[in-house]
Structure 1
Amino acid sequence: MGEETALPELPKGWAWSTFKDVSNRVTVGHVGSMKNEYVEHGIPFLRSQNVRENRFDPSGLKYVSSEFHKRLKKSSLEPGDLVVVRSGSVGVACVIPDNLQDANCSDLVIVKQPQGIDPHYGAFYMNSVARARVNSQQVGVALIHFNTKSMAAMPIPVPPLAEQRRIVNKIEELFTQLDAGIDLLKKLKVKLKRYRQAVLKAAVEGKLTQDWREKQQQRGRLKSGDTLLAHIKTEREQCYQKLLDVWQTEVEFWEAHGKVGKRPSKPKKLKDLSALNQDDLSGLRILPDAWFWAKLGNVSIKIQIGPFGSLLHKADYIKEGIPAINPTHINDLKINVDTNFTVTQKKFDELKKYSLEEGDIIMGRRGEMGRCALVTENEDGFLCGTGSLYIRPAKSLNSLYYSYFLSSRDTKTYLERHSIGTTMRNLNENILNEIPVPVCSYLEQEKIVEEIEACFSICDRIETDITSDLKKSEKLRQSILQKAFEGKLVPQDPNDEPASLLLERIQAEKVQQEAKSKKRKATTKKKKSRKTTKTKQLEITDGSNEGQAS
């Protein structure tokens, strides 16, 4: 074997071989168009997506007719065959299970009827140690492939057959235990997510701060709802007046400089939306005393949809400029900046109205509803992306409290129900204006945020531990496989037949089979030759008889 000198030393009784030498043959699945070949019922037809690490996945399994299957003898499959993905997730392998008595495939490398290895041992080896070698032997440019030649020459450490089966059994035993632990960790992550939503639900219902609120009310420290709403209204009016003053200054400057360019646009007056009526309130949760429901538009200074595609094109994005924040950059109530998704200062100045300020709440306006985050001082001056919108709450409101509320299950359900569009659901300014939000005193908003963050910090620590344990589990899986193929996972049995004898016997059987095959072909060829000679003789005789008759 060409690469044998570069291969590590193996335990006593083991031997290096190749997949070609330990199998009937190495071939490839059907290569070519499958257009119009699939049928509703028939022979199972595997593709790369049906092959997962060490298991067959029936999801999306296709079928072909018996006639088509018979024409593809080369790519036919039977239980015990080892199949390897040759493009996409290259090198992923599994064994054809017993319930697939008759099947066919495309885009897979097939190791037919392994003789010197347990096929499951071969699959475990392919999905671990061999993957790095597979990735170094891919061919192709537009679409990367792993070919049969590379697979046939792939080195594999061969233990005695009995030891292979012990190794497979031990791996499966340990992996079953490991998978059970991983499954438990994943379930804990789901429970933590539900717990976070339960905390948010309790927060917006006033249950997190119930005792605190009662004490504050007794001391007369909480403002009434009417007082708070009047304060927000005054703040909105003052904000609009500031916008008018800035506009007036811009107009005077424009007039003093010859009225060059377009006249500055007068800011739109902030709308006073109608209050929620009894029908609206009947579908909402009952709030504590001193709380009230209000429309988001009535307690916000600004709600702005991000720039449409006509204002911000793909060609406008550069690296290391001013970040634009789209829904993909908003995860777990935080903004994750992508330095490849930025704009120039000039483009930013053209889109000044979409500039984010500290205290804003940015939200995805399409796709997943309720995906939002607070704009902190780190993101102050960033650009609201085309797929996002932002809300600028009144200063009398705690923006972090409302970012929590807008990411709650109640808000997500509301947005899903009121979003528009068929292919992809979208939000607009009118929908955002009408969102009912619970309003309480600023002091209580701060207290709610404090309670939420205390609960979430515990969740964060647990999630960090879970993530760490999941990474350790994957390392443990690789460690198990490494030990398996170094001969350190199960004890050796001196009574096992050495792999060298097994390989010699396989090679001897192959030589015999090849000799029989050659003899059979020679016999067939001889019979055809005799038949041809006899036919020619008959033709000559017939021709001679015809001559005599004439």
Structure 2
Amino acid sequence: MELPSGWVRATLGELGVEAQAGFASGRHNRDGLGIIHLRPMNVTRAGGLDLTDVRYISDDTDRRVVDGDVLFNNTNSPVLVGKTALVKSKIPLAFSNHMTRLRPSPAVSSEFLAIQLHWLWRVGYFRSVLKNHVNQASVPAKQLLQTPIVVPPIEEQQRIVEAIDAQLSRLGAADEALAHAKLMAPLQIRSLYTAATEGKFTARVIAESLPDFRKRREEIWKSVNGNKKYKIPVVADISVSPVVPGGWEVLSLEELSDPIRIIRYGILMPRVKFGGTVPYVEVKDLLGCSLQGKELHLTSEELDEKFAGARIRAGDVVLAVRGSYDRSAVVPDSLSSANVSRDVARIAPLPGLEDEYLQIYLQSRFAQQYLKRHARGVAVKGVNIAAIRAMPVVVPPLTVQREIIECVQQRQTAIDAAGEAVARSIRRSATLRQAVLSRAFNGRLVSQRSGDEHASLVIERIRTEVEASRGAEKVARRRRRVKPADVSQAVPSTFSASYETVQQESKL
């Protein structure tokens, strides 16, 4: 790349930048007294310092950083090496042995140096110069001083920094809005499901009556088991009542499920090292509340046969019950005869209850609050099968269920489209950020001015001063190495003659 007039390429060492490595603190002060000891994780991805999680050490003036210093992560995880931050703090700070303190010379401003080094990290420059150790990677201070950067005139550096700040501030505000929009998407879907299952999408009155699910369930039982005693399902737990529109009914989830293929857990410890042939659904597979296109782990035929009662069919609904209970999905045709893990419950809805409606209901606010209220455990919480069977489900007539499903699908398509637009904008923002920095370091972000002093002149003055300083230091070392002269040779001749006369007289 051809540089604009007045710009030069130079290494940090040629620019007279001072580099000093940090130190290992040994032990941090647990009482929070002393000064803050900065570590690589305190440097943010945006090139700033995050002081929310810090440690303290006793005062050490040799490893202090002051306002205007530049901190470079020189060793640790390869992902962290190269992250650079400009110190803007009036409080005492020290830096660890995983960091290098840089103090710029008059040829380059602190802000410009910090931004350019951080940009080099983002584009992956420092990964190409890492020295790998056993568990860490590093860029030693001596090697860091060999890093080449572009150097415009010092006046133009200030204009570039101001332009970058202005551009990135606007992008930062846009990023915050996009991040908020991204966080709102799941809440919008939850609100959509809640409104749908509370009857807010079906204002018209439908004369259709609900089927007798209890009777239908008992008939299915008798058709399979004959006169064998029928187990009456639990009634709905309505300790907290859901919203029930007119013409809808509240039943327990067990009353709405198949009496033969009952609500139950799946395989205990389904993972096998090799020889797996039967796919099974885990909690992680339910991320996004869909099983479409998921690549499932495989278990053995022996385990699948042992837990044959937990096999799933198309149209079943599976619900995460341990570790996470906000995930559920309808089983697609492609996963018929698959199985589920012990952390997932299989629900087979009766005819008259649409699987898509049940999935929408399980993701509604009321159902999620019910599951949260019944979750038990300390490290990993879960909901037991008894609580799931007693979950109250508000069921509308079949025609209304289908209207709800269609309405929800249409609105969710719009929400998904908006989410994709937000994701594209986030990617575009990252690209624009890189483009701003790229233009800054090839001279296209701000205009050049003829009155600016050429950067090479400043560097030449620094080089002359450094060489003069080195020459003076060599002379001083040479003088310190000179041996003292012989005392007898340094005595004046007249003094020697007088001394001999005195010696002769004393002999007489």
| TM superposition score category, shorter chain reference | 0.7 to 0.9
Aligned pair count reads 474
Q: Which runs of 5+ in 2 are unaligned?
A: 485-508
What pairs up with 1:78-477 in 2 under 5 angstroms? 78-85=66-73, 86-88=75-77, 89-130=80-121, 131-140=123-132, 142-148=134-140, 149-211=142-204, 214=205, 216-217=206-207, 222-224=208-210, 228=211, 230=212, 232-241=213-222, 244=225, 271-276=232-237, 280=238, 283-301=240-258, 302-309=262-269, 312-313=270-271, 315=273, 322-335=278-291, 339=295, 341-345=297-301, 347-477=303-433
1:504 aligns with 2:490: no
Q: CA distance change for structure 1 residues 275 and 183 in 2, over 3 Å: closer, same or farther?
A: closer
Deviation, structure 1 residue 100: 3.9
In the aligned structure 2, how far is the partner of 1:181 from the partner of 1:421? Answer: 40
Contact 1:360 1:392 in 2 (8 A): yes
- Residues 36 and 124 (structure 1), Cα distance of their counterparts in 2 relative to 1, 3 Å cut: closer
| Distance change (3 Å), C-alpha of 1:152 and 1:440 | same
Change (3 A) 1:391 1:123: farther
Tell me the residue number matched to 1:76.
Answer: 64
* Distance of 2:156 and 2:224 partners within structure 1: 81
> In the alignment, residue 11 of structure 1 is paired with which amino acid?
P
CA contact (8 A) 1:45 1:106 kept: no
Tell me which residue corresponds to 1:261.
Answer: none
1:545 aligns with none
In the TM superposition, residue 136 of structure 1 has moved relative to its aligned partner by 1.8
Gap change, CA 1:41 and 1:335, over 3 Å in 2: farther
Distance verdict in 2 for CA 1:49–1:520, change over 3 Å: farther
Q: In the alignment, which residue of structure 2 is the partner of 1:249?
A: none
Shift of 1:270: 5.1
Deviation at 1:87, TM superposition (A): 2.3
Q: Displacement, 1:143?
A: 2.5
Q: What corresponds to 1:14 in structure 2?
A: 7
Per-residue deviation at 1:243?
Answer: 5.6
Q: Secondary structure at the match of 2:72?
A: strand
1:300 Cα deviation from its structure 2 partner: 1.4
1:500-543 deviation digits (Å, cap 9, x = unpaired): 112122222333444455566778x679x99xxxxxxxxxxxxx
Report the CA distance between 1:461 and its aligned residue: 1.3
Q: Equivalent residue of 2:172, what SS?
A: helix
TM-score, L = length of structure 2 = 0.85
The normalised TM-score by structure 1 is: 0.79
Shift of 1:189: 2.9
**C-alpha RMSD over aligned residues:** 2.8
In 2, Cα distance between equivalents of 1:366 and 1:424: 7
Instruction: Quote the Cα distance in structure 1 between the aligned partners of 2:130 and 2:221.
Output: 64
Change over 3 Å in CA distance of 1:300–1:513 after alignment to 2:
farther
Matched residue SS, 1:297? coil
Letter in 2 for 1:41: L
Cα distance in structure 1, aligned partners of 2:281 and 2:22: 45
Quick one: distance in 1 between partners of 2:275 and 2:57? 47
Distance of aligned partners of 1:268 and 1:114 in 2 relative to their CA distance in 1, 3 Å threshold: farther
**SS in structure 1 of the partner of residue 174 of structure 2:** helix
Cα separation, 2, equivalents of 1:176 and 1:383: 51
Which of 62, 73, 96 aligns to 2:55? It is 62
Contact 1:14 1:500 in 2 (8 A): yes
Shift of 1:333: 2.0
Which AA in structure 2 matches 1:197? R
Residue 401 (structure 1) shift:
1.0
Counterpart of 2:70, as a letter, is L
In the alignment, what sits opposite 2:435?
A: 479
Assess if the C-alpha contact under 8 Å between 1:91 and 1:146 holds in 2: no
**What is the CA-CA distance between 1:12 and the residue it aligns to?**
1.8
CA 1:474 to 1:99, structure 2 compared with 1: closer, same or farther past 3 Å?
Answer: same
2:502 aligns to what?
Answer: none
Return the offset for 1:51: 0.0
The offset of 1:452, in angstroms, is 1.1
The alignment partner of 2:179 has SS state of helix
Measured against aligned partners, the alpha-carbon deviations of 1:416-465 in whole angstroms (never above 9, x if no partner) come to 11111011111221121121111121211111111111111111111111
The alpha-carbon deviation at position 337 of structure 1 amounts to 5.6
d(CA) in 2 for partners of 1:96, 1:454:
51
- The 3-state SS of whatever aligns with 1:430 is helix
Deviation at 1:101, TM superposition (A): 4.2
Q: 1:467-526: CA deviations, max 9, x gaps?
A: 111111111111111111111111011111111112122222333444455566778x67
**Cα 1:290–1:166, aligned 2, differ >3 Å: closer, same or farther?**
same
Structure having the higher helix fraction is: 1
Cα pair 1:138 1:144 within 8 Å, conserved: no
Does the 8 Å CA contact 2:36/2:55 hold for their aligned counterparts?
A: yes
Q: Secondary structure at the match of 2:102?
A: strand
Aligned partners of 2:263 and 2:346 also within 8 Å: yes
CA distance in 1, matches of 2:131, 2:236: 66
The share of aligned pairs that are identical, in percent, is 22
Letter paired with 2:435: S
Asked whether the equivalents of residues 23 and 111 of structure 1 are also in contact (C-alpha less than 8 Å), the reply is no
Helix, strand or coil at the partner of 2:9: strand
Which has the higher mean CA deviation after the structures are superposed, 287-296 or 140-149? 140-149
- Note the C-alpha offset of 1:332: 2.6
Give the Cα separation in 2 of the matches to 1:104 and 1:38: 17
Alpha-carbon distance, 1:177 to partner: 0.9
State the distance in 1 between where 2:50 and 2:478 align: 44
Q: 1:402 to 1:339 in 2, by over 3 A?
A: closer
Equivalent-residue separation in structure 2 for 1:337 and 1:323 (angstroms): 13
| Secondary structure, counterpart of 1:342 in structure 2 | strand
1:26 aligned partner: 19
